[in-house]
Amino acid sequence: MITETTAIDRLVDALPTGIVTCDPDVVAAYAADQSQFTHRALPLAVAMPRSTEEVAACVRAAHAHGVAVVPRGAGSGLSGAVNTPAGALVVSLHRMTAIRELDVDNRVVVVEPGVVTAELRDHVSKAGLYYPPDPGSVEFCTIGGNVATNAGGMCCVKYGVTGDFVLALECVLADGRIMRTGRRTVKGTAGYDLTSLLVGSEGTLAIITEITLRLIPAPRPPHTLVASFPTLDSAGQAVKALTTAGITPSMLEILDRATIKAVDDMTRMGIGDDTAALLLIQHDGAEALGILADIERHCTTHGASEIVASSDPAEAEMLLEARRQALPALERLGDWLLDDVCVPCSRITDLIAAIEQIAQQTGLTIGVFGHAGDGNLHPTVIYDKSDPASCEAAWEAFNAITQRALELGGTITGEHGVGRLKAGWLRKELDPVNLEAHHAVKRALDPAGILNPGAVLLGRD
């Protein structure tokens, strides 16, 4: 068994100048993401490659010396996916920021993993194109991290998640070999779909170093509607009515009473204490005005107490401000533990009602906001990190919410990923044969188990 000092020396010797740092302050800053209740330890060192070849050199050196490798994007994740085990090498991709190609004719863009999502969206918009995925951290998260977790966002209800736009990948395998998957053609079924396998794999199967993405023509400016409801059930019935009617808005978000109150206390928007739920809806299609009228009718039929609509972009941004301020407003209330669960759209109100009961049982404030259009909610548990009893109650609430989501026919994560936070829960969601298949895939691509050990899959029994 080599010592850490020897491992560091060998890694530094094997890599180009300026790639590896062992500075204690820098190393500590790369030890974890933004998750809570997840284990993290100091990594051995941090590698900051500038190319696929340098990533491959890092992985080959780590593989040769039995050192675990944790790939890292912006560190904006909430599941502990990039939290390092002791003695691991962090491979940070933040230097790989090139937009290598924009093919306007075929609506394809090729990027490196360190490209910030908002910057990509802005870049392609100048060519009249649109990249829809818009995670809440869009201003600072990276495309590589988005692919690794199959990130979503507020536009998923109409346009889908990151994986729906990934055409091809370049990646580095656990032994340092470079592999390309996918293709740029509109259609293609040659071989297994390894691209889809790697999307959402959270750095446990390979390190992604180049992404080819599908783009779409820029949509029309959206029409926006905000509807206030006096009861949670009435908002849920409105969502169900829209779904049943076949209406697919480009955005359909929900905020519960606890979140509304937190937003109102922070922004002084004057939303009102009698509002139990808010629906924020956008439509950007050619018939947006007529469809928005249908949406307004469904909301009114199901008891909306107030409806405000606008087609003006500036006014639309103002109407959406409550949703954008949801998490910042809840953060002001104390320490926070953000969950990510997804249920069938018809069970959203059942889940929110269960969360309200869990809040009463644990004595904690739990605000709920999320994507009503696809059933993906983000219950946010407020607690006091300095109080052990409060921490225990927060963890109890978090687990109870996740369990209830499964009972309602849902999943433990809609877009944040499993990471280390929910690795134990994966065993409850997947059947034993499915889990064995997961482990078989892991063994095939990473037989030594050096890529992000502890994330997604726990050790086999």
Q: Which residues contact 436 (CB under 8 A, 6 or more apart)?
A: none
pLDDT in tens, 199-241: 999 999 999 999 999 999 999 888 899 999 999 889 989 998 9
Shared domain for 59 and 121, answered yes or no, is no
- The pTM of the full predicted model, rounded to 2 decimals, is 0.93
The answer to whether 174 and 91 are in contact (CB under 8 A) is no
Please list the residues that pair with 282 across neighbouring strands: 224, 251
The stretch 301-322 carries a mean pLDDT of 85
Quick check: is 162 in a domain? yes
Q: Which of 189, 217, 245 is the last residue of a domain?
A: 217
Domain termination site, one of 184, 217, 250: 217
CATH number at residue 111: 3.30.465.10
Residues 202 and 246 in one domain: no
Q: Are residues 151 and 233 in the same domain?
A: no
Is the alpha carbon torsion for 50, 52, 57, 60 positive or negative? positive
Q: Is the same domain home to 210 and 112?
A: yes
Instruction: Express each pLDDT in 384-433 by its tens digit.
Output: 999 999 999 999 999 999 999 999 999 999 999 999 999 999 999 999 99
The type of residue at 79 is: S
The answer to which of 64-68, 117-121, 189-193 has the lowest mean pLDDT is 64-68
Domain membership of residue 235 (yes or no) is yes
pLDDT at 5: 65
Establish if 374 belongs to a structural domain. yes
Query: For position 317, what pLDDT does the model report?
Result: 80
Say which CATH number the domain at 264 has.
Answer: 3.30.70.3450
**316 and 224 inside one domain:** yes
CA separation for the pair 84, 120 (Å, rounded)? 28
159/291: higher pLDDT: 159
Given a cut of 60, is residue 316 above it in pLDDT? yes
Range of the domain at 297: 220-322
Check whether residue 108 and residue 213 sit in a common domain: yes
- Out of 157, 192, 217, pick the residue that ends a domain: 217
Instruction: Show the DSSP H helices in 245-385 as ranges.
Output: 257-267, 288-301, 313-319, 321-324, 326-331, 348-362
Q: Given CA atoms 282, 288, 293, 295 in this order, what sign does their dihedral have?
A: negative
Cross-strand bridge partners of residue 151: none
Q: Which residue bears the tokens 């536009």?
A: 155
What percent of the chain shows pLDDT beyond 90?
A: 79
Distance, CA of 5 to CA of 379 (rounded, Å): 43
Domain at 40, CATH number: 3.30.43.10
Average pLDDT over every residue of 249-276: 88
Segment 275-284 mean pLDDT: 92
What pLDDT sits at residue 1? 44
Is 454 inside a domain boundary? no
**What is d(CA 344, CA 33) in angstroms, rounded to the nearest whole number?**
29
pLDDT score, position 4: 60
Residue 429 maps to a domain: no
pLDDT category at 2 given cuts 50, 70, 90 is low
Together in a domain, 194 and 232: no
306 plus 341 within the same structural domain = no
If asked whether residues 183 and 280 sit together in one domain, one would say: no
Six-digit token string for 243:
């779904």
Instruction: Say what the pLDDT of residue 267 is.
Output: 85
228 forms bridges with which residues in the sheet?
278, 306
pLDDT confidence of residue 322: 83
The answer on 232 and 202 residing in a single domain is: no
The number of distinct structural domains making up the chain is 4
Q: Residue 293: pLDDT above 80?
A: yes
Average pLDDT for residues 184-201, to the nearest whole number?
Answer: 95
Cα-based distances in Å from 366 to 236, 354, 386 = 18, 11, 18
Mean pLDDT of 360-379: 95
Cα 90 to Cα 359: distance, rounded to the nearest angstrom: 38
In this structure, is residue 460 part of a structural domain?
no
Residue 356: CATH number of its domain: 3.30.70.2740
pLDDT at residue 103 is higher than 50 = yes
Looking at the fold, whether 207 and 246 belong to one and the same domain comes out as no
Does residue 328 sit within a domain?
no
Asked if the model's pLDDT at residue 99 lies above 90, the reply is yes
Verify that 146 and 180 share a domain, yes or no: yes
With respect to residue 249, please indicate whether it lies within any of the assigned structural domains. Answer: yes
Tell me, what's the pLDDT at 92? Answer: 98
pLDDT of residue 206: 98
Supply the mean pLDDT for the chain: 93
H or E, element range at 123? helix 117-125
